[in-house]
């Protein structure tokens, strides 16, 4: 089962995790407004999202965020159902609650 974690835990766990992947599930337009360094983008609203997720390494630990935490929570649930065995972390409040730096 995935965990909802706050910004501090999210950043600390990700930085200390050698098996981590940072996944941004927002749209291209949202991504263009700024993203967390090291993230890869897979648009949750893209109809191809499940097929793209299927290509990911299911043994990795995924740190997932979106705008507010809703889509990323849904993505975590989807990934659980697809048999991901690594840890799944959802950033509570999404990028709206992120106070760290953003890349552009």
Q: Which residues are catalytic?
A: 66
> How many angstroms separate the CA atoms of 65 and 89, rounded?
9
Provide the strand spans (E) within 16-71.
Answer: 20-24, 40-41, 61-65
Return the residue matching tokens 């941004």.
24
Residue 5, H or E segment: strand 3-5
């Amino acid at each position: 089962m995935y965990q909802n974690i706050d910004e501090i835990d999210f950043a600390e766990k990700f930085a200390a995790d050698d098996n981590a992947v940072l996944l941004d599930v927002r749209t291209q337009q949202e991504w263009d407004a700024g993203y967390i360094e090291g993230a890869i983008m897979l648009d949750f609203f893209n109809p191809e999202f499940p097929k793209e997720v299927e290509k990911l390494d299911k043994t990795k630990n995924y740190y997932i965020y979106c705008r507010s935490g809703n889509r990323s929570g849904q993505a975590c649930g989807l990934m659980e159902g697809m048999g991901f065995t690594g840890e799944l972390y959802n950033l509570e409040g999404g990028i709206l609650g992120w106070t760290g730096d953003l890349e552009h």
